[in-house]
Amino acid sequence: MSTLRKVPELSLLSYVNGSDADKIKFVDNITAGLKDYGFIILKDHTIEQKKIDRAYDLVQSFFSLPLETKNKYKLDNGGQRGYTPFKTEHAKDNKNPDLKEFWHVGRDLLSSSQYKGIYPENVWPSEVAELKKSFQELYEAMDMTSQILLETIGRGLDLPSSYFKDMITDGNSIIRMIHYPPTKGEDTKNSIRAAAHEDINLITMLVGATDSGLQLLERDGSWLDVNSRPGEIVVDTGDMMSRITNNVLPSTTHRVINPTTDSSARYSMPFFVHPHSKAVLKTIPSCAGVGTSMPEITAGDFLTQRLKEIGLYK
C-alpha cells in the first residue's frame, strides 16, 4: 500500500449541482483536506476556461512590455494595485527578494460603497487594451466562485451560512498576475521565485499556472509538490483563516522553487480572497478552546501589518 501523500482533488461541481449527500461529502472532504494539507485542488469549478486562457495571453503581453513602460504603473499604495517591479517583494523574515514581478487588480467599487476611497483604485495599462475588460470579467467569476468555496468551508466550521458572505461583501480581494522571468544571471543560491511564506488572506485560488514549482511544507519538514493540470484550481488557506479558526485550518507554508532550466519563465494568477477592511478577525465559536486565541484585529489593520513585513509598505 502506497504511503505517498498527495493533495486531495475535489469536484466543486459535485457541490454546486449535486444532491444533499454530494454536498455533505464535499464539505467533509474540503474540511479534511484543508485541516491536513492546508491545500486542496479543484478538478472542476464554475469559471469558464476561455476567460482564464485569454487572461494568461494578456498577462504575457503586459509583462513583455519595456520596463520603463511597466514602471509608469508603479504606485505608492503598498503594491495593492498596479505594477510591482522585479525583486521588490520578499517573504516575511527573509531579506532576499523573490524572483518575480507582478500586477494587482482589485474590486471595482460602486460610488455608494463605504470602502470607496479606502481601497486603492484600479489602474489599467493602455498598452494592452483588452486587459481591463478581461480581468474585470475574470475577477467577477473568481469572486463568485470564492463565495461558494467559503460557504462550504463555513458549513464545515458550523458557521451561519451568511458568515463568510457578509465578511467578503465589498471585500478587498485581489487578482495577482505574476511573471517569474528566466533565472539566468540571478542569485539563485539565496533567492527563489517565491520564498517560503504563508498567504495573508482567508483563502487563495490559483488558476492553472504555466509551469510547476509550487511546493507545500509538510509537518515533518519535507516539501510536497503541488501538481495541478490545466483547468484546475489550487486552493489554500491563509493567515486570516488560520487566525479565526485557532489554526484548525492552518495557513500552510509554501514556496515556488527555481526551475531546472534557467531559461524558462512562469506565469500564474492567484486570487487572494480578503474580507472588507472593517471585518473583525476573531476566533469563531466552533474553534474556541482549541488553542490560544489570537487578539482581535480588523482585516484592514492586519493587511497593512503584513504588507510592511513583506517589504511592500515602507
Could you report the per-residue pLDDT of 258-270, keeping only the tens digit for each?
Answer: 888 878 888 999 9
- The residue extents of the domains of the chain are 9-309
Q: Which pLDDT belongs to residue 310? A: 79
Beta bridge pairs of residue 267:
179
Q: Which of 36-40, 80-84, 280-284, 309-313 has the lowest mean pLDDT?
A: 309-313
Predicted TM-score (pTM) of the model is 0.94
Cell 489602474 found at: 123
Confidence band of 314 (pLDDT split at 50, 70, 90) = low
Confidence band of 91 (pLDDT split at 50, 70, 90) = confident
Summarised one tens digit per residue, pLDDT across range 116-175 is 989 999 999 999 999 999 999 999 999 999 999 999 999 999 999 999 999 999 999 999
Q: Which pLDDT belongs to residue 311? A: 74
- Which CATH fold would you assign to the domain 9-309? Jelly Rolls (2.60.120)
What does the alpha-carbon distance between residue 193 and residue 80 come to, in Å, rounded to a whole number? 20
CB-neighbour burial class of residue 289 (10 A; exposed 0-12, middle 13-18, buried 19+)? exposed
Amino acid at 159: L
Of 233, 282, 307, nearest to 84 by C-alpha is 307
Average pLDDT, the chain: 92
Of 174, 201, 169, nearest to 105 by C-alpha is 174
- Cβ-based neighbours of 3, under 8 Å, separated by 6 or more: none
The side-by-side arrangement of strands in the sheet containing 223-225 is 194-197, 254-256, 214-217, 223-225
What does the alpha-carbon distance between residue 248 and residue 242 come to, in Å, rounded to a whole number? 7
Between 105 and 292, residue with greater pLDDT: 105
Q: Stretch 88-113: mean pLDDT, rounded? A: 91
H-helix or E-strand containing 152?
A: helix 131-156
- Cβ-based neighbours of 85, under 8 Å, separated by 6 or more: 67, 70, 71, 74, 101
Q: Which pLDDT belongs to residue 259? A: 86
Q: How far from each other are the two terminal CA atoms of the chain, in whole angstroms?
A: 52
User: Which stretches of the chain are assigned E, i.e. beta strand?
Assistant: 9-11, 39-44, 82-84, 101-105, 174-180, 194-197, 203-207, 214-217, 223-225, 233-237, 254-256, 266-273, 280-281, 297-298
Cell 477592511 found at: 277
- Cβ-based neighbours of 19, under 8 Å, separated by 6 or more: none
- Phi, psi angles (nearest 5°) of residue 20: -60, -40
Does the pLDDT value for residue 297 go beyond 80?
A: yes
Residue 257 is given by DSSP the state: P
Does the pLDDT value for residue 3 go beyond 60?
A: no
What does the alpha-carbon distance between residue 140 and residue 146 come to, in Å, rounded to a whole number? 10
Question: 102 with 74: CB under 8 angstroms?
Answer: no
At 221, is the secondary structure helix, strand, or coil? coil
Q: Which pLDDT belongs to residue 2? A: 43
